[in-house]
Structure 1
Amino acid sequence: MSSFLFITLSNIGDALLTTPVLQFLHRYDETAAIDIVGDRRSSELFLHCPYRGEIYHKQKQRFLRGAPALLFELRRKRYDLVVDLRTDILARLVRADKRLSKTTGNGQGHAVERHFAAISPLTEGEEIPSTTLWVGPEDRDYADGVCRQLPGDRWLCIGPGANWEKKIWPAEKFVLAATELGDGLDALVLLGNDSDNRQAEYIAARVQLPCVNLCGRTTLLQAGAVMERTSLFLGNDSGLGHMAAAVDTPSITLFGPSNPGRYHPWGPRAAWLAAPDSNIENIPVNIVVEKVRERY
């Protein structure tokens, strides 16, 4: 059996954008157990990956302070292949027969294309797969419990928050969009973390549709399982948009100052709207509503 080491990225969306490479590595050698290095929170995304080996944590906030212990663990093995999409430093320090990193290829364009360029010596023109989120049965059980509370089956999932204020479409515009779409919907599901609760509560208090607010109340994989059951995801540029694409739920992501050409969710059912002046507040409600109706 072969042994690979895969070093992924930190943030939720960034980590998901590396999953096409992980899928290819499995196709390249289906016998390989693939150990994964990731951040403690985002590594949950890989928990149910059927071909993973061990998961090791690299803590971004600790910088070099946690590196010796991590390196000690990794050097206990010898790997047939190391793929490092974070830097090329760790790949040089572990024991390996072959090393590939972001300096290997000459990647341009979207982040997924640049990641795939890092393994270009192996790919030989292979098509890049979609991103993937491996949801477990217990996560789907949680989603079933949530969805049993909702009427009908036309559910719009909204991600009202983001990690930067300039990436957040105003909550009142989500209300206006949901109101305009109301006749075609049975319920709303609001997803996010604790810091998104202010926007979520604002929306939940003003929409006329049945609404469940799950902000801060789910794990990442539970959120993914809930999105898997909804009809469409609408939200800001955050990890949730990438999660929706990774569970193959139709999605529309709203971009302000970020570059969608480089960071849009990767998948055949993922769409996005970008503010022409990079100010997300200036994305009109009617354009969002039109896009939702086009996709849903």
Structure 2
Amino acid sequence: MQKILVIKLRHHGDVLLSTALYSALKGHFPNCHLDVLIYKETTPLLEGNPHIDGVMTIDRKMKGLKRIRHELGLLLKVRKARYDAVVHLTDQWIGALLARFSRAPLRIEMFVAKRDRPFWHHSFTHCVTPPPRGQAHAVELNLMCLQHFGIDPKGKRYSPVLIPQDRYLAQATEKLKQVGVNSPFVLIHPAARWPFKCWEDDRFAQAVSHLTQKGFDIVLTCSPDPVELAMTRRIEDLSRQAELHGRTLVNWGGSMSLPLLAALLSGCRFYLGVDSAPMHMAAALNVPQVALFGPSWVNEWRPWSHNATVVYAGDYGPLPHPDSINTEDPTRLLAAIPTEAVLKAIDERLAS
């Protein structure tokens, strides 16, 4: 294999988890040129990745004729590159067209029921059929593509790769110094893209109090989304009303770029959060963590780490089926998780 293209047009966490596949491919074909195609907003997660030689992007904000021109340009670029293999890990039509137009001898698709059509399948030479939902982790699903390269995907445990860059490590150190966080700190990211994945604000505040009692300063983060900002501010307010035991609490919600967040995570003692991209970032950095889950496919999306504990709402009460969730519904579905279970998980993980 001289040239390989992997297409992963999904969200931040999905792109980070796909880096385990890049590591595996470069491990078996160290001299190959490996390119990836991702959405533009997810590129920070691949910065500094030693297994990637080139990154192509699609800007989802680009619409109409401009988008068409860009994707036609991608088709021509891929044809000209003369790839030996194209791996399409998701269900976007542009990926199937790129694979077909590439004329690569090896073109691999991940079977998706809604794309079970002749034109789609004829765009590829090989198909990966995943097990039923919930029986394999997303990392393992991506690695199943290796079988068509003649590689046993179970021969070695590959992990996602996240490389904090020096300039962001320096920024993180300076920011922490400016607010007086000089001791080991805990990073808490309580929000997620969808509210149904979130826990109660007052219970996060109780976790903050518990961690400050143990001598940790606390850094709160979230995305710039207004709902997430409001959630994080309320957790901050509730935490300050309780006892912080003389420790520092800072709220950097909405002000963290992904590279800076990676740098902060690499320096924290512990991470607490829900099913979200920062959870996967903490796992990739092998940061000890407790992750709270609700009606997601837990076995598929749990942290890919031996240094993580999952607290699952389904162990404490009924949950709707993951496929029945209305992602527009603001209802939080982790309410069944008792505070005591989270505090116990935190103590056990810190002691391990």
TM-score for both structures, normalised by structure 2 = 0.78
Q: CA RMSD in A?
A: 2.0
Contact 1:38 1:58 in 2 (8 A): yes
Deviation per CA, 1:134-168, whole angstroms, max 9, x where unpaired?
22111211221123244443311111111111111
- Equivalent of 1:262, from 284, 297, 300? 300
Q: Is 1:288 aligned to 2:288, yes or no?
A: no
Of the structure 1 ranges 222-231 and 108-117, higher mean CA displacement relative to structure 2 is found in: 108-117
Of the structure 1 ranges 108-117 and 89-98, higher mean CA displacement relative to structure 2 is found in: 89-98
TM-score for both structures, normalised by structure 1 = 0.92
Letter in 1 for 2:140: E
Task: Quote the Cα distance in structure 1 between the aligned partners of 2:102 and 2:137.
Answer: 29
Sequence identity (%)? 26
Residue 128 of structure 1: CA displacement?
2.8
Q: Is 1:24 aligned to 2:56, yes or no?
A: no
Residue 51 of structure 1: CA displacement?
3.2
Deviation per CA, 1:157-180, whole angstroms, max 9, x where unpaired?
111111111111121110011112
Residue 71 of structure 1: CA displacement?
1.7
SS at match of 1:57: strand
The within-5 A match list for 1:43-82 is 43-60=43-60, 65=68, 66-82=70-86
Letter in 2 for 1:102: M
Letter in 2 for 1:288: V
Task: Quote the Cα distance in structure 2 between the aligned partners of 1:74 and 1:131.
Answer: 26
SS at match of 2:188: strand
> May I ask how many residue pairs the two structures share in their alignment?
296
Task: Quote the Cα distance in structure 2 between the aligned partners of 1:152 and 1:144.
Answer: 9
User: Structure 1: which 5+ residue stretches go unaligned?
Assistant: none
The within-5 A match list for 1:154-233 is 154-195=184-225, 196-207=228-239, 208=244, 209-233=247-271
The within-5 A match list for 1:91-110 is 91-103=99-111, 104-108=127-131, 109-110=136-137
2:90 equivalent in structure 1 = 86
Residue 39 of structure 1: CA displacement?
0.6
Letter in 2 for 1:101: E
Letter in 1 for 2:49: C
SS at match of 1:291: helix
Task: Quote the Cα distance in structure 2 between the aligned partners of 1:115 and 1:79.
Answer: 19
2:280 equivalent in structure 1 = 242
Change over 3 Å in CA distance of 1:246–1:79 after alignment to 2: same
Residue 97 of structure 1: CA displacement?
3.0
Residue 37 of structure 1: CA displacement?
0.3
- Equivalent of 1:138, from 167, 192, 196? 167
Deviation per CA, 1:108-133, whole angstroms, max 9, x where unpaired?
22222111112213322422312221
Contact 2:40 2:60 in 1 (8 A): no
Task: Quote the Cα distance in structure 2 between the aligned partners of 1:50 and 1:214.
Answer: 30
Of the structure 1 ranges 238-247 and 66-75, higher mean CA displacement relative to structure 2 is found in: 66-75
Task: Quote the Cα distance in structure 2 between the aligned partners of 1:273 and 1:8.
Answer: 29
Change over 3 Å in CA distance of 1:5–1:162 after alignment to 2: same
2:123 equivalent in structure 1 = none
Give the number of the structure whose alpha-carbon radius of gyration is greater.
2
Contact 1:83 1:119 in 2 (8 A): no
Task: Quote the Cα distance in structure 2 between the aligned partners of 1:244 and 1:56.
Answer: 25
